[in-house]
Amino acid sequence: SSLWRNVEPAPKDPILGVTEAFLADPTPHKVNVGVGAYRDNNGKPVVLECVREAERRIAGSFNMEYLPMGGSVNMIEESLKLAYGENSDLIKDKRIAAIQALSGTGACRIFADFQRRFCPDSQIYIPVPTWSNHHNIWRDAHVPQKMYHYYHPETKGLDFAALMDDIKNAPNGSFFLLHACAHNPTGVDPTEEQWREISHQFKVKGHFAFFDMAYQGFASGNPEKDAKAIRIFLEDGHPIGCAQSYAKNMGLYGQRVGCLSVVCEDEKQAVAVKSQLQQLARPMYSNPPVHGALVVSTILGDPNLKKLWLGEVKGMADRIIGMRTALRENLEKLGSPLSWEHITNQIGMFCYSGMTPEQVDRLTKEYHIYMTRNGRISMAGVTTGNVGYLANAIHEATK
């Protein structure tokens, strides 16, 4: 139609574009360490046994009626216990407004729209670098973005001093987006002590913390440990916001299951806030899908299935941690002149290798290894079968 003549092709998504290029490559020994999705040691996607068992249990037993606008009550309850703790007083006092979201992306987006609607003059401080889609989400919510220092290129670790300066220099009551664990793309997380200092400074400044927790359990293998940053902020009395996702830690990528929660002053405020979160969902997609939420609440609601899940999520984390060690050791065995300590210091799905876009291009052209041009390696794509090949290519490209 002539109406769309001025519609330009959208720019390629930096992450999904890598997968397209990988799929188009006919080379048999090609390696995909681009997309952030777990793969087993044969490079294959994994459906957790706890998920298959939950599916078996619910098969034929649920109807196709609409969920309430806020989504599955059971899934929300289980999600809040996971993020805030089994014995959280905030849950007991009904101070948390929460809705089922379309995975982590949906949770971030509804929050961004909520922030825009109820704090129209606010901005959001986003770490440098961050998951590329964060910029799109708050842009489309019309919330102006500011950057805060996070990654330190020289040490390939956290630039804590610069981070604290930005927190101190931001206007009082600023909104900050924080990765709860397994920072994407750097794999660099503050230590527990650093989180305590950040929380203290947020208190002094009256800043608002919005935690994006897309990897709880997937980082260390222990969901309680991976929620430590949130628990520190809660102990300090911060009224945080939190986006949860079951894409990675339960392998429910395509089921789009997540939860958005906002800590309120009291039950009355939580009821009001929840009703407004639902109002944002209503014109966007009306209500969320049934199946994935039922899988999550079946697993988390059954002690045996939850135990099975805890073992499986630890298994995924352990495999990745093992590949970090293997990649680093292979590079050191090759006599690389560079330090690769950051490969094992970093945590979660990704290793921020420090390779330049040109070096990444060489890996792709000469070795058919695919990763985003920022040098981020999705460790889930590394296997005992390709780690030697990958190390050799990285060594050749960086020596």
Return the residue of 79, 220, 245, 374 that touches ligand IK2, per CB under 6 A: 245
Reply yes or no on whether 165 is catalytic.
Answer: no
The nearest distance, CB 113 to ligand IK2, in angstroms, is 15
Distance, CA of 202 to CA of 172 (rounded, Å): 9
Does 184 bind ligand IK2 (CB under 6 A)? Our answer is yes
> Contact between 247 and ligand IK2 (CB under 6 A)?
yes
CB 346 within 8 A of CB 367: no
Find the catalytic residue in 248, 274, 309, 340: 248
Q: Which is nearer to ligand IK2, 115 or 184 (CB)?
A: 184
For ligand IK2, the binding residue among 33, 36, 53, 95 (CB under 6 A) is 36
Query: Using the rule CB under 6 A, which residue among 70, 71, 104, 288 binds ligand IK2?
Result: 104
The verdict on 18 binding ligand IK2 (CB under 6 A) reads no
**How far apart are CB 87 and ligand IK2 at their closest, in Å?**
27
Q: How far apart are CA 212 and CA 106, in angstroms?
A: 11
Q: Which residue is nearest to ligand IK2 (CB)?
A: 36
Q: Assess whether 13 carries a catalytic annotation.
A: no
List phi, psi (to 5°) of 33: -120, 40
Residue (134 or 319) nearer to ligand IK2, CB:
134
Of residues 313-352, which lie at the interface with ligand IK2 (CB under 6 A)?
none
Please name the amino acid found at residue 212. Answer: D
- Find, among 145, 114, 53, the residue nearest to 284 by Cα: 114
- Write down the residue that tokens 């289980």 correspond to: 78
Is 248 one of the annotated active-site residues of the chain? yes
Phi and psi at residue 244, to the nearest 5°: -110, 150
Q: What is the DSSP string of 322-352?
A: HHHHHHHHHHHHTT-SS--HHHHHS-SSEEE
- Cβ pair 114, 284 in contact under 8 A: no
Using N-to-C axis directions, what is the helix angle for 103-118 and 267-285, rounded to 10°? 110
Of these residues, 189, 212, 226, 309, which one is catalytic?
212
**Which residue of the set 113, 131, 138, 309 is catalytic?**
131
Measured distance CA(279)–CA(69) in Å, rounded? 8
Pairing between β-strand 175-179 and β-strand 157-158 as defined by DSSP bridges: unpaired
Q: Which of 15, 163, 198, 382 binds ligand IK2 (CB under 6 A)?
A: 15
Task: Write down the least CB distance from residue 307 to ligand IK2, Å.
Answer: 24
Among residues 258, 288, 375, 381, which is the contact residue for ligand IK2, using CB under 6 A? 258
Residue ranges binding ligand IK2 (CB under 6 A): 15, 35-36, 103-105, 131, 179, 184, 212, 214, 245, 247, 253, 258
Catalytic residue list? 131, 212, 248
